[in-house]
Chain A
């Protein structure tokens, strides 16, 4: 037993050498990939070549985000920009910063970001702007100091107006209605409900309508289902339900379609076409609304181009053309509204897939 020190030292060294070799192999492999990938990146930001646009969503691999990004990609191609998507795998406050840093270094011309935290991305965005990038916030705004424009889906009031109008049309402008919302403290829901109530109180067209109850399904499918059931039991004369949440409207539709109220109690609100299709086809639901997420990505890309070209600077009143979607105007605080929500009915629901 006389080989303690020497062979052991060798083992250690050999182990370390293997690790080093492994590291080198990995690096060389990634290095090859890197040079391949970065070639078009450098030509993208190069002098006079194509401009580059990078989307930084809250997180990758989210179905809603994928639809938004789909619109962004299409528009980026239409304007001839180099399109890329980078982002974290999880939506934490600071996880986007590293990606912004690398985009800054790559000289990306337009950064389109849905901020996980309005402030955490601030310094990184500031550095990107100092490097010449234009910043478009979309979906979820940053602190206005850090971006050029914010592309917002819809005006809160438009969402409210469309829902009460659809409801009124479906019940002939007369009767009791109820609202099935998400959670009691959801900011956007409450804003819509406030406008709906205001409209019912002030608009003579809706004088015959009374909102008898507002209940909360907490964006939980089972709870929403029970709340819908409860609403109809508590209010036998109920003519319609407005559910401004995709979970709530789907659950309510599911309840109505299997009950005696099918086709008798109107249902409208905000829903996803793919979830609502069967209920539109079986007659439970006549019409509902939602913005088209793809348009959000599209308008964001066109806004980025307009900023690069100098068509807009982000000041109130600036206008630019968003491809087929037509002209958009920059509103107060640099906010660009994508447009009125899309209304879905049996006529057009098959045109949408999200």
Chain B
């Protein structure tokens, strides 16, 4: 396993998530990384401005500009409010989801966890529970759902794709068991209107403050903490990460708990925003979340990604779909556009890598030819 030492060096030195070594892992490291020179520092800083995350932020700004210029009424306070209210569930779940995917796993059960939370909320409210107690139970549901996923993946060692496809059906099924076909809608108006209220005349939803806290939390966790630095290392090479002392299982477990808890919070948000607790709430958003995360530059194979990129990815998709709807374009076209964007963002880097590998091989062959010609 020549690989192992290679990647180990990378993770020992705490190379950030954007470390490009993964493009061709067969290559030995470039050597003296332990002493970071001034030149390398500038290089890293430059990468911060030209990396995928930064590019996504530019793309977001470009998207907003194009939408504002071409779609009448897009540039308005109303848009901010409507757009963000729709984007919040995706944005919230995308944070822990990005981390899970960076570690090389995936969680497809998030929307079902939110649905289960919503169902339990409805039943408890109908049974006369107080709101604070209900919130506590909801968060616990998130913890349990996430822990079940985490335990099945880490202790039993099953692939997360299989596990969470299972729990996707399981949690949604439980939601149906809990509340059935009913809907509970009589939540206190003060509470439900709080969840759709805006900060002053800015159009920014009040709950955005909480969402921002979640974004900052996961951003700091990924980019500034030693725990976070272990995540890309795990996604990069599980063996290497455990070799240098990362508790891979434990880290992954807590990542699943994190997605569970945030999904439960989304369940609460969804229920109160629409003032309707139902078993089918948040159906299908797991795919929207994963799409946005991938568009935001997180590698589906793990090891690479950044929170600013993901936030930009979510907002790009939301803005485009909102602009298309505002422009009266049918949902069918909208699906095609999002699909193209996604395929493009995932496929393009691979295509370029292949092309580069080919030209490198051609160049190497030419060099060998030239060398042998010189010898003879």
A→B interface (CB under 8 Å)? 1, 4-5, 7-9, 11-20, 22-24, 26-28, 30-35, 37-38, 41-42, 60, 84, 86-90, 92-94, 97-99, 101-102, 104-106, 117-120, 122-123, 143
Contact = CB atoms under 8 A, between A and B. Distances in A.
Contacts of A20: 55, 58-59, 62
Nearest to A60: B331
Interface stretch (B64-72, B154-162, B259-267): B64-72
Interface stretch (B73-81, B96-104, B206-214, B224-232): B73-81
Question: What 9 pairs between A and B have smallest CB-CB spacing?
Answer: A34-B327, A31-B70, A16-B55, A119-B185, A120-B274, A15-B349, A101-B82, A120-B276, A8-B20
17 contacts: A4-B29, A5-B30, A7-B356, A12-B52, A16-B50, A22-B340, A22-B344, A23-B59, A23-B63, A26-B341, A27-B62, A30-B327, A98-B325, A102-B325, A106-B328, A119-B183, A119-B275
B283 A92 contact: yes
Contacts of A88: 331
B369 interface: no
A101 B283 CA distance: 20
B30 A4 contact: yes
Given A27-B66, A93-B280, 20 more contacts: A1-B28, A11-B356, A12-B47, A15-B348, A15-B352, A18-B352, A22-B348, A26-B341, A32-B70, A34-B328, A35-B70, A89-B332, A92-B284, A93-B281, A94-B270, A94-B273, A97-B274, A123-B196, A123-B273, A123-B275
A86 B18 CA distance: 42
A33 B330 CA distance: 11
B192 interface: yes
B86 interface: yes
- Centre residue among B193, B284, B324 by max chain A CB count within 10 A: B324
B176 interface: no
A35 B329 CA distance: 11
Interface in B296-343: 316, 320, 322-333, 335, 337, 340-341
- Centre residue among A23, A90, A97, A117 by max chain B CB count within 10 A: A23
B51 interface: yes
A295 to B, nearest CB: 26
Contacts of A19: 55, 59, 344-345, 348-349
- Centre residue among B183, B192, B193, B274 by max chain A CB count within 10 A: B274
A13 B284 CA distance: 33
A31 B248 CA distance: 46
Interface string B334-366: 010100110011001100110010000000000
Given A9-B47, A34-B324, A97-B274, A23 B62 contact: yes
A30 B323 contact: yes
A28 B66 CA distance: 7
Contact of A37 (B30, B50, B280, B328): B328
Contact of B192 (A18, A92, A123): A123
- Centre residue among A12, A33, A90, A92 by max chain B CB count within 10 A: A12
B23 interface: yes
A121 B322 CA distance: 18
Given A20-B58, A93-B280, A98-B86, A30 B328 contact: no
A30 B320 contact: yes
B244 to A, nearest CB: 21
Interface string B241-271: 0000000000000000000000000000010
**Interface bin, chain B:** 35 or more
B172 interface: no
Q: Name B's interface SS.
A: helix
Contacts of B328: 34, 37-38, 41, 84, 86, 106
A20 B273 CA distance: 34
A86 B329 CA distance: 9
A123 B325 contact: no
Nearest to A121: B274
A106 B324 contact: no
Contact of A93 (B18, B55, B59, B274): B274
Nearest to B352: A15
A143 B192 CA distance: 15
Contacts of A86: 325, 328, 330-331
- Centre residue among B47, B67, B326 by max chain A CB count within 10 A: B326
Given A90-B284, A117-B183, A9 B193 contact: no
B326 A102 contact: yes
Contacts of B78: 104-105
Nearest to A89: B331
B122 to A, nearest CB: 11
Contact of B71 (A18, A38, A87): A38
A30 B337 contact: yes
A109 to B, nearest CB: 15
Interface string B152-176: 0000000000000000000000000
Contact of A105 (B30, B183, B326): B326
B280 A92 contact: yes
Contact of B183 (A22, A84, A93, A106): A93
Contacts of B66: 24, 27-28, 31
Contact of A18 (B82, B270, B348): B348
